[in-house]
Amino acid sequence: MRPWFGKAEEAAVAEVIASGWVAQGPRVAEFERAFASRIGAGHGVAVSSCTTALHLALVLAEIGPGDEVIVPSLSFIATANVVTYVGAEPVFADIDPATGNLTAKTVGAALTPRTRAVIVVHQGGVPADVAEIRAAHPGLIVIEDAACAAGSVYRDRPVGAGAELAAWSFHPRKLLTTGEGGMLTLTDADLAARAEAAARARHERQRRRPARHGQHRAGELP
């Protein structure tokens, strides 16, 4: 799959190069605001990938050793891998064969006393019924893996609208790409500030000593 780039993209990249500011800068901040506004989220924190966004979401949710996180049995491996990054255990749940997504029923079948959260993937951009899952399991932390869902709409609202934690991908094979990169969108201002601080702190540590989970912050030229 070849990304569709035109003169507008060429001009935007040239403008960034000419500015001399190719690391985290004003264009990233502008993109964070525009993307969060478009999907109906209060805040956006641009990061290096959707994997990074999911990892950061679990850190913010304070998921750790001894906890279980339900993930779909059909997804890119990163959905399960990030759970292990924080020392928790991924628990695979069945999916609806018609949509490829988790349902309230399949999540319920995977619950145990150790379950803290569920990562709901909008598989291939097909919206999962997150509202139904939240209503059926009000005690669970719901993290949305919207890697492929930029532009998807469910019940007249963009996927990710109002989500406490939603992770996005801008990989070249996605409908919206920045070359590489991802974003975590959030509704809570305090949580967004923590996300920004955590991403920046990890990025600074990795500049001095590379970590096994890669860098976290996005640049002007991802």
H-assigned helices in 70-129: 78-85, 104-110
Catalytic residue among 55, 174, 203, 216: 174
Task: Name the DSSP class of 124.
Answer: G
Q: In terms of Cα–Cα distance, which of 56, 53, 36 is closest to 44?
A: 36
Is 174 a known active-site residue? yes
Q: Residue 23 in 3-state DSSP?
A: coil
Nearest 5°: the CA angle 12, 171, 154 is 100
Q: In terms of Cα–Cα distance, which of 122, 145, 126 is closest to 54?
A: 145
What's the N-to-C CA distance of the chain in angstroms? 19
> How big, in percent rounded to 5, are the helix, strand and coil portions of the chain?
35, 20, 45
Strands (E) in 3-159, as ranges, are 43-47, 68-72, 89-93, 115-121, 141-145, 153-154, 157-158
As given in the structure block, the two tokens for residue 138 are 């009000």
Strand-pair category, 165-169 with 182-186: antiparallel
Confirm if 70 and 107 have CB atoms less than 8 A apart: yes
Catalytic residues: 174
